Amino acid sequence: MSKTANVSPARLPKDSLKKLNIGQSFAEYDIIRDKAVVVVDTPAMRSALDRDRSKCFFVGRRGTGKTAITFQVASALPRTLLLLPQLFSPVEKFFKTEDMVDVHHRPFKTLVTSFKRALVDEVIASWVKRGLTSLDRRTISPLTRERNLIEDYDFDLRLMQFADEGFSALSNGQDKEWHRHINRTKELTEFVDGMTESGWETTVMLDRIDESWDGSDSSVVLVMALMHACVELTATSKAVRPLVFLRENVFERVRELDREFARLETFVVALDWTREMLLEMIERRLNAPLIAKYQLHGPTWDAYFEQPASGESSQALVFDYCQNRPRDVLIYCKYAIEAAQRKLHQRVLIDDLQEARRVFSDNRLKELADEYADNYPQLQLVLARFYGLGRQFTIQGVEDLVRKLLVDSEVKQHCQKWIFKFTQPDLFIKLLYDIGFVGIKEGESKPIFRSSGPQAAGLPPIGLGTLVAVHPTYTEALNLQNSIVNSLAQIDLREAGLIGDLPGAVDINEYQRRLVNLQEDLKTLPHGSASAARFEDIVGDVIKLCFFRSLTNIEPKSRTVDDRVIRDWVAANHASEGFWQLVRQRYDATQVIWECKNYADLEASDFHQASYYINDKIGRFVVLAFQGKERKKHYFEHVRRIADKDGGIVLMITQKDLEIFIRQAINGKSNQGHIQELYDQTVREIS
């Protein structure tokens, strides 16, 4: 209950609500994130800014503020680097997962050493750019021997090179070469620490490292090795301070696989939010545009939000309905504010909060399935089967539900990789509890939902009288009834509307079949002009099947009115949120042009052609899809010239990126994160 619930709220200045913008729930799109007045002082934020080097892993679920911390660290500390590595496919070919179980053995040590050296080289490269040191060949030092790797490679390519060298020596029985490889990293780290002047310490932040992985054990091994490398650098290096931002589902996979996990756990910071911190976050954003600020911890909220005459407060309507994550609260408040603005209200009324519930609930249900798509592909099929059932289940009710899921043809086909591991009711309940979908209720007490953070308590004890309660967040999306489900013996399961969100009104089976065929076609397609038309078709299918929520009205071989320009694909950009909305607003790209090149190496003429498409009428954003495996350094020089000359940008999409988009669609995962990562890399390279 608000501290000022019984006091008449202060009157807002005229049109304050009409002009209000509390920002975006995704930090990378948030236009007001850089305002100091909106920053909330959390334990995780303090730890990231603290230089005592006691913590280096920041773990939380989606929407708990990991990316927001990276922006604050970058603005507050003098020397920072942000890395968005794409390391989960190419490096896996150098090792077998079964050889990496023991972290003390040579294979795992080889991988850890490769990560350490790649990170140290990245710091040296940043010093060279800032003019703190040079790689003059006339002076003999460990740095000059590293010159080519620093100047010609980025982090991912260096990592591949070091892993190739180390594992080649190991597999060929070249003990001297292997020891030389290990000692090279040690020598380089010690030399860099020795030359470190006051203020040279560089904070290296690694974020979104799960965007390009496939969730396999070998991908988990790579995360393990990165974490062990960061622990060793944190404990020993004065020059390099690594900070790794991990999603909780990735962290849990490492916990399952790593026998030395206790060594990592002491370096973990959980991104936990209390209700008081969440309230402060919203109030700071509400206060930001005002000249005369209201007090925090209640008065600001009460100025903007109506308090009901009786019953629970408007705060309770929001915070009891959301999970304890800033993104959830921001999204709900944003929807309610927009509802009030449409109706020209001067404050957010209770009716506005109630109206926002359905769209918020739909949004969060899709987000939940997307968040855990790597762990549980097509999870939304299982969640959708709760549609129209009760808000609470007895243990018998859960058992009946599991039985029906195991004979459901779509669930069996598309969730077979994981669903049969949770056939026992207690295991199924634990799964739903761990992802935040249900809580445990005893008697008349309130349900206990899993708190956020990697050190959250496990599943509460389950007895015969235990009830399993679906979190209120998902009530409207699943049309749940206010009842207790004791038995489903005579009830057929239905589906929620979220399954109908597929391109061209195809069903899930046809959608999956087309994606799998597309995946195979892309892998086997030869390079060259003979199959160029087929590559264009494949890219077109990727647009239709993977980007259908944002890009519509897709047209092949689109010609200008004078027939002078033929564009491979043009898609209308109707996005109202996320990456494609950013593209539409920043580059006026109401239409997105896709150009396709069925060869591995791009030439200057390809970028000239892309720049020719850019104009004020169609927009200044072009996607250049090609069959190469990497975006080479000199490609970005062409992109920079286009940006300087035309104010536009060319986003390069490799074959690997196309494969990632297809794999994410097969798993039911959004591709927003990966394409945002490609865009961020491009902007950093040309800046």
Residues 517 and 666 in one domain: yes
Residues 357 and 404 in one domain: no
Report the b/e string of 597-609 with b at 16+ CB within 10 A: bbeeebeeebbeb
Regarding whether 193 and 153 lie in a shared domain, the answer is yes
Q: SS3 for 117?
A: helix
| pLDDT tens-place string over residues 446-491 | 888 887 656 555 788 888 889 999 999 999 999 999 999 998 877 7
Residue 131: partners with Cβ closer than 8 Å, 6 or more residues away: none
Q: What is the pLDDT of residue 500?
A: 46
Q: Is the pLDDT of residue 652 over 80?
A: yes
The dihedral region occupied by 232, where left means phi > 0, alpha psi between -120 and 50, and beta the remainder, is alpha
Residue 25: the pLDDT is 61
Provide the pLDDT for residue 332: 94
Residues 296 and 341 in one domain: yes
- Whether residues 514 and 394 share a domain: the answer is no
Determine if residue 649 is left, alpha or beta; phi over 0 gives left, psi from -120 to 50 gives alpha, anything else beta: beta
- The answer to the question of residue 38 being in a domain is no
* 368: amino acid identity, one letter: L
What value does the mean pLDDT take over residues 205-226?
A: 82
Greater confidence (57 vs 99) lies with: 57
Indicate whether 465 and 440 sit together in one domain: yes
Same domain, 549 and 523: yes
Among 344, 371, 398, which residue terminates a domain? 371
Segment 96-124, tens digit of pLDDT: 888 888 888 999 999 999 999 999 999 99
Q: Are residue 308 and residue 179 in the same domain, yes or no?
A: no
Please give the tally of structural domains in the chain.
4
Q: Which amino acid is at 656?
A: K
Helix H or strand E segment including 400: helix 395-406
Q: Are residues 365 and 415 in the same domain?
A: no
What per-residue confidence (pLDDT) applies to 88? 56
Q: What is the CA radius of gyration of the chain?
A: 26
Q: What is the pLDDT of residues 484-522, one digit of tens each?
A: 999 887 777 776 544 445 666 567 788 888 899 999 999
Spatial CB neighbours of 49, under 8 Å, sequence gap ≥ 6: 72, 73, 76, 77
pLDDT of 624 above 90: yes
| 192, 210: one domain | yes
DSSP string for 487-545: --TT------GGGG--GGG--HHHHHHHHHHHHHHHHHPPPSGGGHHHHHHHHHHHHHH
Residue 295's domain spans which residues? Answer: 274-371
Same domain, 298 and 161: no
State the CATH number of the domain containing residue 566: 3.40.91.30
Residue 440, phi-psi category: left (phi > 0), alpha (psi -120 to 50), beta (remainder): beta
* Domain endpoint, select from 347, 371, 395: 371
Residue 524 domain-assigned (yes or no): yes
Kindly state whether residue 17 falls inside one of the protein's structural domains: no
Q: Give the pTM.
A: 0.78
Q: Which two tokens stand for residue 602?
A: 């791009």
Chosen domain end from 371, 390, 421: 371
pLDDT in tens, 559-572: 554 444 577 889 99
Residues 624 and 645 in one domain: yes
